[in-house]
Structure 1
Amino acid sequence: MNLHYIQEIVNCFSLFDESGNLLGSASSPIQIWKDGDCIEQSSTDIWYAICAAVKAACSLADVAGEEVSGLGFAATCSLVAVDADGSPVTVSWSGDARRNVIVWMDHRAVKQAERINSCNSPVLQYCGGSLSPEMQPPKLLWVKDNLQESWSMAFRWMDLSDWLSYRATGDDTRSLCTTVCKWTYLGHAHMEQINEKDSRDMEACGWDDDFWEEIGLGDLVERHHAKIGRSVAFPGHALGSGLTPAAAKARNLELGLAAGTPVGSSLIDAHAGGVGVMESIPESESETKDDKEAICRRMVLVCGTSTCHMAVSRNKVFIPGVWGPYWSAMVPEFWLTEGGQSATGASLDYIADNHVASPHLANRAASQSISLFELLNKILESMMHDLKTPFLAALTNDIHVLPDFHGNRSPIADPKAKGMVCGLTLDTSEKQLALLYFATVQGIAYGTRHIVEHCNSHGHKIETLLACGGLAKNPLYIQEHADIIGFPIILPKESESVLLGAAILGAVAAKKYSSLNEAMKALNAAGQVIHPSKDPKVKKYHDAKYRVFRELYEQQLSHRSIMAQALD
């Protein structure tokens, strides 16, 4: 019998065999509430969706629950509130108890983030110099400021992936990934202390109590940080006694797996993508697998609703406006640098959904059984031939997009940044939509180039990109990134790398591999390699557009200053 490893990413459940091959996958819809900057979900709804997806995926793969040998969770870095009984505590103005999850992209806590950043705590140097409103301390402070009853009721505050692990095992051990990246936990301090004791001692000793006191959340220090994490472990650490009988039993709203199934401590979904792809090196470059520094010359792009840019180093690298350095937050015993763009897939959806030509094009795409973006790619190819442009990218010579529709996460770290489009006309045709979409793709790629250049100028030596996630399946998107950044981009053999990365947690918890690092080398595999254009005209063109891209933000700052003076 083959061993099977599972990952669950919010509402998706996938099974992999011991060679890292995807056997089956299923998903179940989850509810989301959006009201301005407030975006909320229900942890109960998410759990029920997972349970439904588990049964569907096992059925599709023809795998019995007792055959599953390991379980791993990955999820968005959203904030979950529960009371002493594990019941949801509302984080919503509505008072609806179901709405106990503040979604990662929620920006309600901008003012709280500004207050925290004004304190200049030493912990801020480990997250690029300032906290984002997408991180957990600003969101926690917002709840305390605005929902006093919820604040007093909450017994545990958890990242969503940690809550899923806790719900499955009853073990409240948090992951170094979530706590270091989103909660200001100092992973290097944690490891320095447990090295002096016993490697099995998972006491959470990386919290900076002065920080929590200074920002007005000193009550979270009480009872040895019980509300935010008394114990912290490497991703993949086996939790408790595995799956509890209550979570495992095969009734309607539970998993239908065997009690005691090993469960690994969690990863944030983007970081699971990094684990699932970081060692995906072509056989022609296999000699680099023996080069212990080769992994430090790579950057993983996890491309979905947002894009995360993951690079690791042996030594800590401090980069203004870029999150980290985070010790062991993704790859154990490496420092993680994490850049990001808050809305990439979401920006493309926004551009498409709000154009008058979109409904008609969506119908045409459906009739051809392709996505809207595949159809737009075809339209662009036809336009290039019809207009006899020298290369595809030249179609956008007079339309430019700054895609900061949800602020700039990296490297400017400006949550107040806005999107900009230069070159609009009265044209409402499908061709105009195609150009606007293409210019947005390019704008996203220029943003990644900005992040890569910024990281390299501060000590990294990135020379190869690896890409995974939904947007990585779009050939135009990947080719533009390669051409604009000037680096080859490796696509993984397993396109669902986020799922594989989380499944690796189950494999490590089940003791199939001695470490996460070993599992990555064994289960990551390379697919296609996309090389940048060798045409010097393409490079010259993108250098010019990149200059315009950078100037758009400078113009925005100027406009912001002019209007601020007018309103002063």
Structure 2
Amino acid sequence: MSGKRSWSDSTPLLRQQQQQQQNRSPSNSSYPSYPSISLEMTSAVSTTTARSVFLGVDVGTGSARAGVFDENGKLLGSSSSPIQIWKASDCIEQSSTDIWHAISAAVKTACSLAEVSGDEVKGLGFAATCSLVAVDADGSPVTVSWSGDSRRNIIVWMDHRAVEQAERINSRNSPVLQYCGGALSPEMQPPKLLWVKENLPESWSMVFRWMDLSDWLSYRATGDDTRSLCTTVCKWTYLGHAHMQQNNEKDSRDMEACGWDDDFWEEIGLGDLVDGHHAKIGRSVAFPGHPLGSGLTSAAAKELGLVAGIPVGTSLIDAHAGGVGVLESVPLSYSRPKESDKEALCHRMILVCGTSTCHMVVSQNKLFIPGVWGPFWSAMVPEHWLTEGGQSATGALLDYIIENHVASPHLANRAASQRISVFELLNKILETMMLDLKRPFLASLTEDIHVLPDFHGNRSPIADPKAKGIICGLTLDASEKQLALQYLATLQGIAYGTRHIVEHCNAHGHTIDTILACGGLVKNSLFIQEHADIIGCPIILPRESEPVLLGAAILGAVAARQYSSMHDAMKALNASGQVIHPSKDPKVKKYHDAKYRIFRELYEQQLAHRLLMAQALA
């Protein structure tokens, strides 16, 4: 490994990677870095017909995307526009103004490619990363940056500036923490809010609304600041089940926010957020897909090239939108005749694989699982409990491993000349190595290389933000072949992490036996096959290539009353694609069982080393 570069702002590695590296700002720069592609577009429409369509918008870490879907859940056209990001050590920031401009560009282009007019769009939904937005009483940005730059009013989801604040909050053992796996992550909102109050008092006094990014998008579109049960329950410690006895999805109305634990906010030093019936963090909440306000405002409609009054659904976090876009994407052969639809859902885990990976599974009963977030009521599928695991760096980690190897520039040039991705080229190199070395199966190439992928801490199931990554088995070999082995071992380490999460969830009451996967990394066939072999479950991919956008569009369809419930919309608009089965070779299972044991031991060794050094410095 050589050098140090910032994480890529797009996943996976793109063909013009070498040029991107030359243009990318270093991780400690005060200047913004940009994704390399100005606009990505796809279209599946060649003729114009009068129809009803639904529009989904998703804001990821590096871009804002829009997709247009028909009444069968078929993608008609999509577009992507880059967004600005600033990175300095653990502080990662964005601009809500910049994001809205990117959304406007993406929506207009997606509709143009789909040959859709504004009056054909019958519903609109937003999804976004769980980033924290600060605005004043006029809706103008308030800085959350040491720089004082007012544009930088978003603390990005992966920002880890609030580790110390999270530790202090967790030390109080508040009852609300049992619904977060026993501890808050520094990626959740209360630690970040406390950090701003303690470090940027002027900004703290100016903020009129603190919002999750997806809630801010729906507010920007409609003027209605009702918050989603998804964002508030998953990232703000809101107790959504406070509504269980009084409300259900079919009520579909704003609900007074009765799920805030005022004692918790007082205890952690943020009692001022309780003032005004929690006005700054949410006075009303709603189920995902609830129609907001009077729909799209005239001003927002003009900016997006749409028609005022289009129903806009209460938002979802992007990973959860991916869940809504794939959860019913199961072939008929996987149906369980003796089970109800609700029971069948509970055997499926969703992997949303991008910069990070989210692992989500629903249940009809609440299950408390140490180190895994939840149980969250109605956070994804209304009236179901959600368990959410995760890995904070997966696509980002693969990018990091590849880009920081001395062979990376040459590899990127070779991939570009062959018009394939770097991942595809590495997979080819591994296939050739397997044949040349007469290995029984490709995975066995890494018998001497083992990776603990906690380069950005462990989100689940250990919940240790201080965990570090480990690569065991390095040599002086700096060749492309050695890079390919490190890439494969890292990919396997990520899959072992998912296996750990699945086993941990099943040990605490879940019955997961099927995986549904989506996101940029599922385009990598080796990534998916290794996950299937290591977890031992079939992995189902959705028919549509943009399930997060589909999930967002489903919010719009539900808001437009095209379906009576979120689940009905999912059954109508989800569709299955390819199914990847685990290897039937018992040698493959034996091999991965052995490597998985080493994977688990690497963290235990790290803990022992941490204790030894702490004692030495005491």
Shift of 1:499: 1.0
Q: Are residues 1:137 and 2:190 paired?
A: yes
Structure 1, 374-383 or 284-293: larger mean CA deviation: 284-293
Contact 1:193 1:205 in 2 (8 A): no
Match of 1:481 in 2: 531
Q: Are residues 1:210 and 2:263 paired?
A: yes
Match of 1:276 in 2: 325
Specify the SS of the correspondent of 1:28.
Answer: strand
Match of 1:148 in 2: 201
Q: Are residues 1:295 and 2:360 paired?
A: no
Shift of 1:146: 0.3
Q: Are residues 1:74 and 2:127 paired?
A: yes
Contact 2:496 2:596 in 1 (8 A): yes
Match of 1:230 among 266, 274, 283: 283
Shift of 1:235: 0.4
Specify the SS of the correspondent of 2:376.
Answer: strand
Match of 1:157 in 2: 210
Shift of 1:193: 4.2
Counterpart-to-counterpart distance in 2, 1:374 and 1:146? 45
Counterpart-to-counterpart distance in 2, 1:487 and 1:230? 42
Match of 1:27 in 2: 80
Match of 1:2 in 2: 51
Q: CA RMSD in A?
A: 1.2
Contact 2:252 2:286 in 1 (8 A): no
Specify the SS of the correspondent of 1:301.
Answer: strand
Identity among equivalent pairs (%) = 83
Shift of 1:62: 1.3
Q: Are residues 1:170 and 2:223 paired?
A: yes
The alignment's TM-score, normalised by the length of structure 1, stands at 0.98
Shift of 1:27: 1.1
Match of 1:261 in 2: 310
Shift of 1:42: 0.2
Match of 1:309 in 2: 359
Counterpart-to-counterpart distance in 2, 1:187 and 1:234? 10
Shift of 1:192: 2.9
Structure 1, 264-273 or 284-293: larger mean CA deviation: 284-293
Match of 1:39 in 2: 92
Counterpart-to-counterpart distance in 2, 1:286 and 1:62? 36
Specify the SS of the correspondent of 2:82.
Answer: coil
Shift of 1:67: 1.5
Q: Are residues 1:344 and 2:397 paired?
A: no
Shift of 1:409: 0.1
Counterpart-to-counterpart distance in 1, 2:52 and 2:479? 53
Shift of 1:468: 0.5
Match of 1:320 in 2: 370
List per-residue Cα deviations over 1:337-381 (Å, max 9, x = no partner): 000000000000000110111111111111111110010001000
Contact 1:187 1:326 in 2 (8 A): yes
Q: Are residues 1:512 and 2:565 paired?
A: no
List per-residue Cα deviations over 1:286-335 (Å, max 9, x = no partner): 45584431110110011010000000000000000000000000001100
Contact 2:252 2:287 in 1 (8 A): no
Specify the SS of the correspondent of 1:274.
Answer: helix
Specify the SS of the correspondent of 1:129.
Answer: coil
Match of 2:424 in 1: 374
Match of 1:85 among 138, 144, 154: 138
Give, as a single letter, the amino acid of the residue that structure 2 aligns with 1:9. Answer: D
Match of 1:61 among 102, 110, 114: 114
Counterpart-to-counterpart distance in 2, 1:50 and 1:497? 18
Counterpart-to-counterpart distance in 2, 1:190 and 1:163? 23
Counterpart-to-counterpart distance in 1, 2:234 and 2:382? 14
Where structure 1 has 5 or more consecutive residues not aligned to the other structure, the ranges are: none
Counterpart-to-counterpart distance in 2, 1:348 and 1:429? 17
Match of 1:556 in 2: 606
User: Size of the alignment, in residue pairs?
Assistant: 563
Specify the SS of the correspondent of 1:355.
Answer: coil
Structure 1, 439-448 or 520-529: larger mean CA deviation: 520-529
List per-residue Cα deviations over 1:238-291 (Å, max 9, x = no partner): 000000001111xxxx11100001100000000001000011111223455844
Give matches, 1:192-211, under 5 Å: 192-194=245-247, 200=253, 202-211=255-264
Counterpart-to-counterpart distance in 1, 2:192 and 2:427? 39
Give matches, 1:457-472, under 5 Å: 457-472=507-522
Counterpart-to-counterpart distance in 2, 1:440 and 1:349? 10
Match of 1:404 among 454, 461, 464: 454
Give, as a single letter, the amino acid of the residue that structure 2 aligns with 1:232. Answer: V
Counterpart-to-counterpart distance in 2, 1:298 and 1:55? 35
Counterpart-to-counterpart distance in 1, 2:469 and 2:296? 45
Specify the SS of the correspondent of 2:304.
Answer: coil
List per-residue Cα deviations over 1:413-456 (Å, max 9, x = no partner): 00000100000001110000000000000000000000000000
Give, as a single letter, the amino acid of the residue that structure 2 aligns with 1:21. Answer: K
Contact 1:39 1:106 in 2 (8 A): yes
Specify the SS of the correspondent of 1:544.
Answer: helix
Counterpart-to-counterpart distance in 2, 1:292 and 1:132? 30
Are the structure 2 counterparts of residues 207 and 16 from structure 1 closer, same or farther at C-alpha, using a change threshold of 3 Å? same
Q: Are residues 1:420 and 2:473 paired?
A: no
Contact 1:194 1:201 in 2 (8 A): no
Match of 1:358 among 408, 421, 434: 408
Counterpart-to-counterpart distance in 1, 2:120 and 2:539? 36
Shift of 1:128: 0.1
List per-residue Cα deviations over 1:454-504 (Å, max 9, x = no partner): 000001011111100011111100110010011111111112111111110
Match of 1:431 in 2: 481
Shift of 1:199: 6.4
Specify the SS of the correspondent of 2:349.
Answer: strand
